[in-house]
Structure formats: C-alpha cells, structure tokens
Chains A and B, each alone.
Chain A
Amino acid sequence: MSVEEVSQKLETVSVSDDTPKTVLTDSNNFEVKHPLNSKWTLWYTKPAVDKSESWSDLLRPVTSFETVEEFWAIIQNIPEPHELPLKSDYHVFRGDIRPEWEDTANSKGGKWSFQIRSKGSEIDELWLRTLLAVIGETIDEEESEINGVVLSIRKGGNKFALWTKSENEQALRNIGAKFKQVLKLTEDGHLEFYPHSSANNRNAQPTITL
C-alpha cells in the first residue's frame, strides 16, 4: 500500500465520539464515575471557641460521597490535617452512621486506636492512606466490620481511630493487622482496641493490643 492510499484510508476513518469520558480524559466533563461500595459521610468537629457550645453544636456533617471522583473532589477542597486547628476531628463514616458511640450501629463495637506524634505532611499522607483503605474496602472484612474512621488533631499527638461495628476478635485482629500496614507501623508501634462500652471509663485498658 502506497503512502497516498494510507492517507486516503486514514481520512475515512473517524474516531467514535461515543467513548465515555473518564476523569482521566476530561476532569471537568467526565461521565464515567467509579462507584464505591457504600455511601460515606464526612463529618467535622469544630473546636469549641465558646463555653456555651455543646458537642452537638460542634459536630456537623460536611458532605457525602458515593464515587471515587466525588471523594477526590472533596479531598482537594478541604484543608489537609496539618492545616486544621487543634482539637479538630475529621470523621468519615459509612452511610448515615453518626460518629458517636451511642449510635446503634456503633454501640456494640469499638475502635482500633493509634496515637502518633508526627505532624505536617506525614500525618496528611497517613490520613489519606487510611481513607483510601477504608473507602476502597481493602482493609475491611467481607461483611463490612468497619463503620468509620476518625482523625483527632491534638497537641499531645494526633489520633487515628478505626471504628468497628462489633467486638468479633478474629475479624478485629485481621483488620488491625491491615491497619498497621496502612499506617506503616513497625514492630514498636502498637495498636490498641477499646470497646465503646468502656468509653465512659477513663482508666479503661485495651482489650486487644497488636
């Protein structure tokens, strides 16, 4: 086939416009969205600046998302953890579950907890990794043990907490082991599990330590 013939053929070939646009091909007008397994809600706890403010005044849902694209749009527009004022909390919880241990979905469960002293970009990266592992469901068991995840910005050290719906020890150990990998913990770093039933006890000891 001569060059002229090839050129003529190319002119007749037309690329179909029916190919759906993804977030990677057109970030403004993409049509294909990647669905998540659940709807998730981002909550924010505002630090109290006035003594009259109660817990219910401070804890507010910010927005919800059901797709990967919606998730990234939110992450790009909210302050990163290192930008948050002290005593702030970010919560990402499944569906309509409130980030409170009194919620019926949480009351029989507990939380894997880890406190980290590092600040700045490291905490941003670990929080993002935790979120991705949770919404991507790779950290969870088949029967969705995880209800949500919390990041608490504190002076003494930032806290990560992975909330579960039950105290099923085997499931918790599996989740805890994966959570350690997500947080890039070494042998020295210990995760502690506290059941919500002991939330009122300040001297409560963890029931599982990994």
Chain B
Amino acid sequence: MFDWFMNPEGPMVLVVILIKIIALVMPLMLGVAYLTFAERKVIAYLHVRVGPNRVGPRGWLQPIADALKLVMKELLVPSAANRYLFMLGPVMAIAPALTAWAVVPVGEGMVIADINAGLLFLLAMTSMGVYGIIVAGWASNSKYAFLSAMRAGAQMISYEIAMGFALVGVLMAAGSLNLSQIVMAQQGSILHWFWLPLLPLFLVYFISGVAETNRSPFDVAEGESEIVAGFHVEYSGMAFAVFFLAEYANMILIATLTALLFAGGWLSPFQGIPVLEGLFAWVPGTIWLLLKVCVFLFCFLWFRATFPRYRYDQIMRLGWKVFIPVTIVWIFVEGAAVLAGLGPWFD
C-alpha cells in the first residue's frame, strides 16, 4: 500500500484526475448559472417581456446576484424534520448529477474516465438521482413535500424504462457501450447521425429526459399551483441552491447525452458536404458539441413556455402505454435492419 505513495506515478495520476474534474465542474457550474439566466430571458421573450435587465449590463450579472443571495440566506431546518436525512437530501440529489459527468466525453479523447460500460454507468447514475428527491420529501415531514416525493419517485421509475430501451437501440446501432465509440460510429454526414435511423428512440429519449429532470411539462413534482414547490418547499438558502444546481446540471447532462448519442456529439454537421466541410474544418469539436447542447437546452426552455403541465395520470399513460411500446417496436425494427445490413447505418 505504501509503495503506491512512494511511486511518483501514483499520486500524479490522482492530481491529473483532480485537475480534469475541476476543469469539467467549473464550466458546468458556470453553465448552470447562466442557464438560469437564459431560462428567464428566453421565457421572457417568448412571453413578450424583457426579463431581468437590472443587475449589470443588460442583466448579465443576475445569476451572480442570485447565487450571492442564496449563500447569504439562513439555513432553516424545520423542528419536526429528520435532521440528518434533511441535510443528506440535497447531497444525494447533486452527487449522481455530477458523478455521471465522469464518463461523458466533451471532445475527441476529452473524458475523465474512458470506460467500456459508459452507457450503463450513466443509466445507473441517472437512476440514483431520485433518492435525493424522495429522501428530501420524506425528511421534511411536510405533506406537500411528501406528495411531491411520491410523484417524483413513480414518474422517474416509469420513464427510466423507456429511457433504458432507447439506449438499447443506441448501443445496438453503435455496437459499443463506450460513449466515445458511439460518437465515432456516427461518422459520415449529418444523415449518418443516429437521429435519423433511430428517430422514434431519439424523440422518446429526449422527452423521457425532460420527464426525468422533472422539467415542465412533466413538473408535477414541483407543481407550484398544486403543491407549492414540492420536495424542496422546506429548504432555504444553500440547501435549496444545491437542489437547483442538481436540476440544472441534470438538464445539461440530458442535453449533452442527446447530442452525443443521437446528434453526432463533437462531429461537424458539415461532414461530407464538399465546400462547407473544408470551410468549417478549423472549428474544434467541442464547439460543435456545445452548439448542439445549446439547441437541446433551448428546447427545454421552449417546452416550459409552451406546454401546460401534464396531469399525473396522463404522465403515467404516456410513459407506460406510449413510450415503452414504441421503443420495443423500434428495437425489433432496428434488429431486422441490423440483420439485413441496411445501409448506410447498419452495414
């Protein structure tokens, strides 16, 4: 055990991994901060309002002000709450949301842990996220929070199945569970990306992702008009901010995964087009990925400003009676296509 510390390579590896983690988490946190700003601005413009424009030039410092406010606020623990679990709740929400990023490549070879079973790991981590909500809802010892925990738990388990089946389709098409290899399997042109051969799975995956992150129109777990704010109704200050961070980090994660699995990840959309390919060859892959992620994140915000909230039984019907059959049917179709070697995707 001690020769590991004596060996200069041992601790160095740890230091390199730590630097990689910081290099990923810092932009992610900044992304979360400005995603909240983008959300308020985008929804404001969709409502024909202006949105936040007071703090800093054109409101650009608004998220910093919000963060400061949350840090300064007092942390309240309800006297009837279960103290330990009440404090553990936010931690259990954010830990899986950040852990999942370990296997997500943000460019060619730019990944913290390039593991073979990356897709499985992601599925396992996203399924852990529900614990934070359930534990927080129960430990708050409040009717609203408990109702929300029940709703969130049932909803997330239901949509996880559809999500898992959609991922089965992806791994059948790519022949690998490694996320980098899945992206490389989509090489060719924009028509080679998996969104086209797996169109139903792509839609099911993205919509299930919206449901998994408890975003509108599937936000019955928060439902301001019914159960105030749901599982985080008793939380204040930083404890609330951690839930907020977890929700938005999960949104960015789902958007990134959709981009990686169905929209070619860091591959250029102009690949295979004679003139444009050369013209845009200088753009680094990470920029393309970032642009795609932004498109999907915009969809999250757009949905929120467009759709009314689903009723609880409608959510369950959509998950169990529509999405799961659709994914199963498409997996069979895909299996036939793989067997027939249908070009240009499955040959």
The yes or no verdict on A and B being binding partners is no
Q: Residues of B at under 8 Å CB distance from A?
A: none
